[in-house]
Structure 1
Amino acid sequence: MDDYPLLQSLIKTSSTKTELQTFFRTTLKLTSVFDVARRTEADFTKLVNDAIEQDETLKAKFANIDFGKLYDNAKCFAAQISHLYREQQLSSPEAQHHWQPPGIRGVEKQGPTYTNLFQENWDDSCKIDSIAAIDSPVAYLRALYLFAKQLETSASESTTEEANRIRLHKRRPDLEELSIDQQSTFTAQPMLKIVNQILDENIQEALKTTADEGKSTYEVLAQKHYPFALPYEFFHHQCLLGFGAKRLSLGELNYLISTHLPLTQTIDNQYGNVLSATSADARKLMSGLGPQQQAVLTDDLLNEKLLTETVNQKPLALTEVKARADYWKKNFGIDEPSSLRNLNTFLERTELNAEQMEMLLAQGKHAPRKSTSDLTKTPVPYGARYVNGPHSAGATMKLVKTKGSKKKGDEKEGDTKTIDQLTDRRLERLNRMIRLHRWLDIPFADLDSLIVSAFESQVPRNTSMQLDAHTVSVLGIYRYFNRRYSIDAEEFGALLHQVTPYSNSDAPSLFDRVFNRARLFDKPLVLDERAFTADNSDPTSHTILQHLSASLGVALTEDSLLQIVKNTEQYLGSLKCDLRTLSSIYRQARIARMFGISITDSATLANLLGGEKISKCLTNGNIVDSHTILIDIKDSDKSFKLVARFRVPKQFDPENPLLLLSGSTLTTNTSLFVDSKITGSIYIRFPDDSNDDKHSITISQIPAVARDTEVSLEGCPIKLSDVDFEAWINHKNKVAIVIQSPRDKTSGLPDETSNYPDVTLMLNEFQDLDELHLLDVLMQMDWLTNWLNDSVFSIPKLRRLLEPRNSDDHGFLNLQQHLSKLNRDANAAAVTPREIAKLSLPKNVDDWCQVLETLLDKKGLLKNFAPSLEDDVPQKLSTALDLLINTQELENDRIKQETKKKLYDLLLLAHDRQLHTVEKFIQDISQLPMNCARGVVAWAGSSIYQILTAARHDEHLTRLPEALQPTLRHAEATVQLNLSNRALRLFLKHPGWLGISGSQPELTLHSLYLLDRFNHCMITHQHPEESLLSYLELANSSASTTVINGFLATLLNWTAAEVAVLTNMLANKKARTMKDLDWLMRCHAACKATGLSAASLLNATALNNQSTSVAWKKVGEAVMAASH
């Protein structure tokens, strides 16, 4: 009818129908019956009713319309239209012919086939795997999308529920603009990636109205501290996940590729250093805590001035008030902490439950229980010592129930619980403890025990009980040993300090689990301070020692339990049944058991790592090896501040000046030492009433120092009259004399002196650089045991090679037959006077034996005329004979030559005979190849002549074992290392190629390790010895770095580019020594274990708390890439 305007003008159209069409199309946005059918009836009815309610005119006109029936009609029409559409698409409008098919060919064109009956338009169809198919993922997504839209727009009986709906366009705003193509349809996307992307977009939108606008989401998450799941450091978390899958950790890599290994057999805490990275940084990273997490634990942001319980002389400034409020807001999400005393509020803010709160405060069923074996009366707030702080046990935090008050209508308010004795400082401790518990997943009681043990073992003792870098280091070492040796936090804390006699659960205390585990005795071992000794014959001591033996699983022998007990008595003093003594015994036994070695082997490791001081550290938990004096000198406007750090030897010699250690400094505001031609000295006097100096300190050779600057005094001599530090501190009179002396003593200029009576002297013995803590010893023992497990040596073998004590070490008692044979063979190999007489030498020389005394001793043994392995024996012998014969008055040259020829043949034969005697003897005992004997003897610092002389002179074989011991130890080492004669001679000729200073490598832990790594390289990378020796020769030649790196890459089965990254870090830019090669081998092994490249490995070891986010991101991405 729209095509006939005249007809429209004659026939009046229903205004209601027109208005209804306008209402549906414009107001309701419904253009067809299909739009109505897509909605539910309730949704459609609500949509219409809502639109009508807003317009009174429409409400009056459409009051009689049944919209339910209208909805049904719309769905009916939609179904009919769909059916007709599908029917017309498939059916032909032409009527079928009634005919009899003439044959099969006729049926093909006019018969009732599927093609003739249903004329489908294949151009409208698509392939099965097309994204346009009705069963494709796109169609499924569209159906889900429409269904979700229907659900969220459906009617609800509750207005509140409908208003609180989170619509799809808010939850997934990307769907509306999602581009549908082949890639977006069939490329799988991780759900986590989609979630992170949506969250990031929403967070960034919210940040636009805050001070954090422009920052990335990860930056904001790392800076925020509340809720307690924060701070979150994304790139650090990537490292944790990537390394965790390989059972490694950040920081552990620093120990794997440390440039300093504990091989010096002296105190050394540099193990773990990698290039510029320190072991202290490595231990912090091993804790698994990111830099921001560590800052939350250790930064004292809420200082004493801002605490409410601190009594201040004046009120806080506005900036301080704001800082205090900001702290609580940042950590607890509230401005004022007073509300946190309410238990419900505290639980809500910290996301703890009631049982966890009791565990945190050691209350209720988690209250501490003291062992009946502890007879001491001093209570300890076990399980909550850290959160309560350094206060008495009676002032600990408690959960207190407060009764409710009456209200109107006699309604009683519910009872509430509060945290009694909660101060701001304790609240700060609770904040840190809760976070640490969640980050490390350690029970509160065990974590508290570990932290307190770290405080108690710290040097100096951490009396303030504040978390610091040392605490984080303890956590790092604990997590490493927990992962490798399955030691729990309470046990590790006992290693650091003491075995606790307390428990806060139904399980017995650690003391009872260790010492009273099995009821083998009538009475348990109790802490009653009974004295005992290592004398097993004493009845009281015997009972206690038997108890300790059964409890610790250690034999009651001299090389097991009694050795531990004697160590404890030596370093701790008299033995008593107290925690200090028993904890020391437990520590030594538990460490040996943790590493899977015997007590004797543990003592051997301690001796190899540093001797007595390491043993003392295992007994005490730590030792201090230095002293530090702080000297403050003032006089009106002049001042000097000195830090003098030095070690005092056991035998103190006042006349032998000590040298100041690293960390010694001088700061002055004067210009007295500016002139480089002047050398300074500072003399501290302690005059008494008689004006005599009983004590004095002199620091000399002070270098030039500008005004108001700090200069290092490392290496400057310090002379002490004595080491009575307490007398220095307490002395009333202290005078400082500053002396300026000309460096040129011939200048004739006098010394200039100035006195300063205002001197303050303090003793600060405990400095991180000088202390040797149990943590260092444990890591060094861990390295040593790991190396021995992979090497050709064992601990008993090392003890036999490096710690010879007596002649029994090599089983000389069972070698009497070999020693007797050596004595006989030495006598047989000697040149006799009869052999010389048979030569018919010229008669004008009275005594040819005396002439040959420089070559031949009185008993016929050839002296060591060719001491060097490089010496040509025939040539050296010929030269020596020339000198001897030319000094004799013989008739002519012919006789001289004949005489020389006879002596030459005799002595060369004697030399070979004597050499073979020693070669055969060493081969029979140690299975050493005979061609290596001369090199072994030279390595031992001996000679063939010395061995045979000892054998001939010791007829009763009493002193021979001692003389042979060095040679046999070196022979055994050579056999164990499988060294060839060429390799042995090469390293003896070039000890620097091993990486050892000196003219000849001694048999030490250092040399054995490097030689073992030489052997390890051949076995691991399956290359012959010649290839490795050829590389060392090439590396120490003038060949280019490229050629050397290429050869090394072939040896290590690596790429030259990776090798070049590492060699560029070396001093010579190439691996010239076995020490350098060992570092590259360890780096190669670490790269294979982690999947990282050499550059990424070095970047990972260089990380610390001060590293930039760019550095963390680079390592995090490399770790994640390697893990996939």
Structure 2
Amino acid sequence: MTTGEPDMTQHPFSLLRNLARSGNDTPEHDDDTLSFINAMEKLNIHSVFDIVRRSKSAFVHELSRISDADAALAYENARCYATQIVRLYRNQLLSSGRTQQLTRRTGVRSLVDIGPGFPNLFKENWDLFCKVGAIEAKDSPVAYLTSLYRFALEQLEGSVAEPSRIKLDERRPDLKDLLIDQQSTFTPVPTLHIVNQVLSKAINAYVGTVPEDKGKTIYQLVAEKQHPFQFPYNFHFQQISLGLDGKKPTLGELSYRVSLEVPTTSRYGSDYGKVQHSSAIAQVLMSGAGPEQQAIVLEPALSSQANADTSADLTRQFFKTKYNVDYVDDASNPLNNLNVFLEKTGLDSDGVEALLAIGNHTAYASPNILSAGHTADEDSPREASLTAIKARFGAGYVNGPTTQPAMALNKDAYGIKRLVNTSVDRFDRLQRMIRLQRWTGIPFTALDTLVMAVVRSEGAVNPQMVLTVNTLRALGTYRYLNKRYGLAPDEFAAFVHQMPGEANDGRLPMFDRVFNNPALFDTPLVLDGSILYLDQDSSEHVKARAQLSRALHLFSTHEGLRQLAIDVRELIGNTPTDFRLNLSMISSLYRQARIASMLGLTAAQNRALIELLGGRFYRKKVVSGQLDDPEQDVLDILMQLDWAVTWFNASDRDVTTLRRQIGWDMTETTVTQELTVQLEQLTNDARLAVLNSDKLASLDLPSRDDQNNAINWWTILYYLIDISGLVRTQPLHEEPAVSIRRTLHERLSSIAIADPLASEVEARLATFVLNGYRNQHRLVEKLLLTLTGLPPDRCEPVIRWAGSDAGKFLAALLGDNGAIQTLSTLIRYSEVSQQLELSARALRTFLINPRWLHADFGGLLPLSMSSLYLLDRYRNWRDNCGYPEEALLEYFKQANDTPRDNTQCAARLASLTGWTSSEVLTANALLTGSDRIASSMHEVDWLSRMHSASDVTGLSARQLLSATDLTATSTASHWKSVGEAVIAANR
């Protein structure tokens, strides 16, 4: 073996010379070839080991380029020599050099260590060995990777010189500087981390050469970059999106989860979805668009930014930023070339056809919608004709509002495909649509249908057909409903405007898919603008009503189709009109029916729920579908309906029962023969239970006082007993015996009767009144127990909640004056109390202190959707907190006392809600806006929802509030802090 770099021609016994001789080395060579020895020098080979380190194919390839020697034979000889050298070296290294005796020894001599054995045969140097699994072992990952690294450098990169080859040092410049130790070898490192690290170094090196980008972080650069269309990329927004993926509430949806108000506690639900910002911000965030993406979608069109002096510069800057092309004018725009457009946008040819709705994606109209059925939409004056509608379907947004022909593809004189009928504005629209499609994953046709539905729903407010905040709000609401209910884009588009009457890609138009498939009638439903009479019995009207009812799964009755059609007729425009078979009115019918089926309701239930949430105002919004920024619109109503149905399902309620319970739909109690008998018996018992003069006389009370003045005992008892002999209502906050005795004591103090007679008289009267009170109340308690199963101890608070009392009911019964109506009310309140499973103490407490439920409740506790929701949340809290009910009511008392210790209240509330006091105080700071602690069920419910969201997401209260405070204008540091918190919560 040779070492160093000797002159091989001066060593006659060089192994390389032997290889050369074996390889037919000859002294005569052409000018272009070298002898074997010279070739070895040129290849920097000084040893047979340098040869065998290469693969045979690589050595043969290298040598054959510069020499005509037999490279294959030379390689085989080198491998033989190397094998022999290694073997000799090992023998020399391990052999002891001592000749071993072959005779077998016996007896004592056999015990002497002079026979053959491993220590005698081999001189092992144990310092050269290592433990199994050590990084220096020959079978360790380090040895394997080192071998790979050497193979890549010497055999792959060093074999053939190719200028276009990207070498390992360029791909992984960090490898040569890696320190091999225990940590770097066995600590797992994600591949993505390595990729980011390598790319970051390369990017930072490049950024240093660009003056305007110096000092910027990589996150800033990728967030500002807008081409290719994978950008902009907001790293921290992506952290949040991925961390809140799956079953967790997304950004925006989180604001609805922890909204300060729910639809029942806010007038018209206007504050539902609001924490620090309005619900519109939450809907935009649900679209999945980051702050930079929102800026691209909503930035003003070039035509609105430029003037005569700046137009050219802004246009050039636009094309450079968005498409990375140099723009001179429309005629020479490189993007008109289809190949360039494909390269710059990342689309394929089919994608361009889908984007422009041409070729295989050309639209076609339903034959069952005539022109008269299209032109009835007064809110869309831009659609001048049926032809225009058909031409723009699937590409309505990218073509814009101009009368210029729609964009298409044509071949020029050289056979090159080009985009025609383009403009700067249309290229602006194209890049927005392509980006939206990438971000949402919605196919171009469906996305255009949804976007154009929003644009047309805005009406005259958006004449230029630009993307607005409503577009992102609609996308956010759609994504939420799609995730929750599997709603399709064209179905959602019909929620805000009209259902499409066109289609492409071999699909049926949505109108025909809903109303004419499958074909159950001899002729399809045709929209021709004719009047549909809801009560006429002519065959054509009966058939049309049947077709509509079947398609929408409605009953052709007042509760079904007829009621919805009347709503459309009355509410779709500014004034009532006839119901016509046109796309606008039929779409309104579909909208109402589809919302109902999506939520699992009947059409009648859905209508009742919409009215319950917002009255006629909400019904008109749903019927018209029109979007309106300043007011609640159909998007807000959809979110509120979703909340209401979720609450109904969780609390085992239904809208019909709820409306009846809170008095929206009044139903009179059916007076059966059995009830008549009960009431007659109750009337007779009430006559016996009244307190009259005969019963008072039996008390043997003095007729004159100590001053010989006559005493009128009925005047004394007037504040306790009415003229009918029924005991008056007693305060709820104290026991009847206490309040009766207190009143008597006050009234008797003005009578001159000395003790002990005064005390005896007071005791007789107190017993007289209290017994009358109890006897009269037992009559009502027995009736309600029989009719509703209401326990006697809850009877008094339920009657008082209903705004009545036992005396008033018995008086109405005795006077035959509205007793049945009063009884209906009592039964309704009893049913609510039974369903809520409220204890007598809890109901009495909230009747005395209605503000402990909600700060807006004053006077008598109302029976409303709001109070019902809060009482239901109280029941849920009571049943799941693990503490007796007394602890909850005691907390409300403590929180409403003045003065109070907020820290102590927070600690108590934390134990009752299963949270920590620090989290309660953090959340409470936003809730109350002061040092006041949560003091009502309304506020405790919000804290409970915060706690639930914290458990689901893993975020603390402060982090949750920071997440709901995010907007498109939030600082990068704000996005970063939330992103890091979300990722940390997932570890």
The offset of 1:33, in angstroms, is 3.8
1:165 aligns with 2:165: yes
Structure 1 pair 815/548, CA: closer, same or farther in 2 (3 Å)? farther
State, as a whole percentage, how many aligned pairs show the same letter: 37
Task: Tell me what 1:348 maps to.
Answer: 343
CA distance in 2 between counterparts of 1:104 and 1:214 reads 86
Query: Deviations 1:147-181 (Å, cap 9, x if unpaired)?
Result: 2223423544xx6xx21111111111222121111
1:395 aligns with 2:399: no
Contact 2:910 2:917 in 1 (8 A): yes
1:147 aligns with 2:147: no
Whichever residue aligns with residue 382 of structure 1, its letter is F
CA distance in 1 between counterparts of 2:879 and 2:112 reads 81
Task: Tell me what 2:319 maps to.
Answer: 328
SS at match of 1:808: coil
Task: Tell me what 1:473 maps to.
Answer: 473
Structure 1 pair 139/950, CA: closer, same or farther in 2 (3 Å)? same
Contact 1:532 1:575 in 2 (8 A): yes
CA distance in 2 between counterparts of 1:207 and 1:1087 reads 40
Task: Tell me what 2:599 maps to.
Answer: 595
The offset of 1:248, in angstroms, is 2.8
Task: Tell me what 1:209 maps to.
Answer: 209
Task: Tell me what 1:922 maps to.
Answer: 784
Any residues of structure 2 matched to 1:616-695 within 5 Å, and which?
A: 616-622=620-626
The offset of 1:964, in angstroms, is 2.8
Return the match for 1:132 from 110, 133, 136.
136
Contact 2:660 2:667 in 1 (8 A): no
TM-score (norm 1): 0.77
Contact 1:42 1:155 in 2 (8 A): no
Contact 1:622 1:773 in 2 (8 A): yes
Return the match for 2:106 from 90, 94, 102.
102
1:39 aligns with 2:28: no
1:863 aligns with 2:728: yes
Task: Tell me what 1:529 maps to.
Answer: 529
SS at match of 1:418: strand
The offset of 1:1052, in angstroms, is 2.1
1:1022 aligns with 2:885: no
CA distance in 2 between counterparts of 1:965 and 1:530 reads 47
Task: Tell me what 1:365 maps to.
Answer: 360
The offset of 1:468, in angstroms, is 1.6
Query: Deviations 1:936-982 (Å, cap 9, x if unpaired)?
Result: 2222222221111111111xxx8322223333333222222221122
> Which one has a larger percent strand, Structure 1 or Structure 2?
1
The offset of 1:453, in angstroms, is 0.7
Any residues of structure 2 matched to 1:169-248 within 5 Å, and which?
A: 169-210=169-210, 211-248=212-249
Task: Tell me what 1:507 maps to.
Answer: 507
CA distance in 2 between counterparts of 1:422 and 1:623 reads 30
Of stretches 27-36 and 572-581 in structure 1, the one that deviates more from structure 2 is 27-36
Task: Tell me what 1:968 maps to.
Answer: 827
Task: Tell me what 1:249 maps to.
Answer: 250
1:610 aligns with 2:614: yes
CA distance in 1 between counterparts of 2:90 and 2:548 reads 93
Query: Deviations 1:596-631 (Å, cap 9, x if unpaired)?
Result: 11223222322221211111111112487xxxxxxx
Whichever residue aligns with residue 38 of structure 1, its letter is R
The offset of 1:897, in angstroms, is 6.1
Contact 1:455 1:461 in 2 (8 A): no
Contact 1:40 1:150 in 2 (8 A): no
Count of matched residue positions in the alignment of Structure 1 and Structure 2: 928
Query: Deviations 1:77-126 (Å, cap 9, x if unpaired)?
Result: 43322111222233222211232311497277233334433332222111
Structure 1 pair 568/842, CA: closer, same or farther in 2 (3 Å)? same
Contact 2:605 2:656 in 1 (8 A): yes
The offset of 1:257, in angstroms, is 0.1
Return the match for 2:916 from 1032, 1055, 1058.
1055
Query: Deviations 1:884-909 (Å, cap 9, x if unpaired)?
Result: 6677899x877766655544432221
SS at match of 1:565: helix
SS at match of 1:395: coil
SS at match of 2:813: helix
> Which one has a larger percent helix, Structure 1 or Structure 2?
2
Task: Tell me what 2:976 maps to.
Answer: 1113
Structure 1 pair 813/199, CA: closer, same or farther in 2 (3 Å)? farther
CA distance in 1 between counterparts of 2:584 and 2:265 reads 31
SS at match of 2:567: helix
Query: Deviations 1:440-463 (Å, cap 9, x if unpaired)?
Result: 111111100100111122265422
Structure 1 pair 104/619, CA: closer, same or farther in 2 (3 Å)? farther
Query: Deviations 1:463-519 (Å, cap 9, x if unpaired)?
Result: 211112111111111100110011011000001101111111212111111111232
Contact 1:793 1:976 in 2 (8 A): no
The offset of 1:364, in angstroms, is 1.7
SS at match of 1:1065: helix
The offset of 1:135, in angstroms, is 0.6
The offset of 1:1105, in angstroms, is 0.4
Any residues of structure 2 matched to 1:830-841 within 5 Å, and which?
A: 830-840=690-700
Task: Tell me what 2:903 maps to.
Answer: 1042
RMSD between aligned residues: 3.2
Of stretches 932-941 and 435-444 in structure 1, the one that deviates more from structure 2 is 932-941
Return the match for 2:855 from 993, 996, 1011.
996
Return the match for 1:946 from 780, 803, 808.
808
The offset of 1:828, in angstroms, is 3.1
CA distance in 2 between counterparts of 1:513 and 1:833 reads 81
Task: Tell me what 2:798 maps to.
Answer: 936
The offset of 1:984, in angstroms, is 1.6
CA distance in 2 between counterparts of 1:290 and 1:914 reads 68
CA distance in 1 between counterparts of 2:717 and 2:467 reads 78
SS at match of 1:134: coil
Whichever residue aligns with residue 114 of structure 2, its letter is Q
Contact 2:54 2:155 in 1 (8 A): no
SS at match of 2:209: coil
Query: Deviations 1:319-375 (Å, cap 9, x if unpaired)?
Result: x53332121011111011612112222122212122221111111221111111101
SS at match of 2:325: coil
Whichever residue aligns with residue 927 of structure 2, its letter is L
Contact 2:532 2:579 in 1 (8 A): yes
In structure 1, runs of 5+ residues without a counterpart are 3-11, 54-62, 307-311, 405-414, 625-767
SS at match of 1:120: coil
CA distance in 2 between counterparts of 1:356 and 1:513 reads 25
The offset of 1:205, in angstroms, is 1.8
Task: Tell me what 2:369 maps to.
Answer: 374
Task: Tell me what 1:272 maps to.
Answer: 273
Structure 1 pair 821/1116, CA: closer, same or farther in 2 (3 Å)? farther
1:911 aligns with 2:773: yes
TM-score (norm 2): 0.88
The offset of 1:287, in angstroms, is 0.4
In structure 2, runs of 5+ residues without a counterpart are 3-9, 18-34, 372-384, 705-709
CA distance in 2 between counterparts of 1:1052 and 1:473 reads 34
Any residues of structure 2 matched to 1:634-1033 within 5 Å, and which?
A: 768-769=629-630, 771-791=631-651, 793-808=653-668, 815-840=675-700, 852=717, 855-864=720-729, 866=730, 868-878=731-741, 880-881=743-744, 901-954=763-816, 959-997=818-856, 998-1033=858-893
Contact 1:536 1:545 in 2 (8 A): no
Query: Deviations 1:1062-1114 (Å, cap 9, x if unpaired)?
Result: 12323244222212211110011111111222222111111110111211111
Of stretches 202-211 and 112-121 in structure 1, the one that deviates more from structure 2 is 112-121
The offset of 1:426, in angstroms, is 0.7
Structure 1 pair 876/1036, CA: closer, same or farther in 2 (3 Å)? closer
CA distance in 1 between counterparts of 2:407 and 2:763 reads 101
Any residues of structure 2 matched to 1:297-308 within 5 Å, and which?
A: 297-300=297-300, 302-304=302-304, 306=306
Contact 1:800 1:810 in 2 (8 A): no
The offset of 1:133, in angstroms, is 1.0
Whichever residue aligns with residue 334 of structure 1, its letter is V
CA distance in 2 between counterparts of 1:232 and 1:813 reads 76
CA distance in 1 between counterparts of 2:772 and 2:429 reads 83
Return the match for 1:1092 from 927, 939, 955.
955
The offset of 1:71, in angstroms, is 5.7
Contact 2:257 2:949 in 1 (8 A): yes
1:383 aligns with 2:244: no
Contact 2:260 2:272 in 1 (8 A): yes
The offset of 1:927, in angstroms, is 2.4
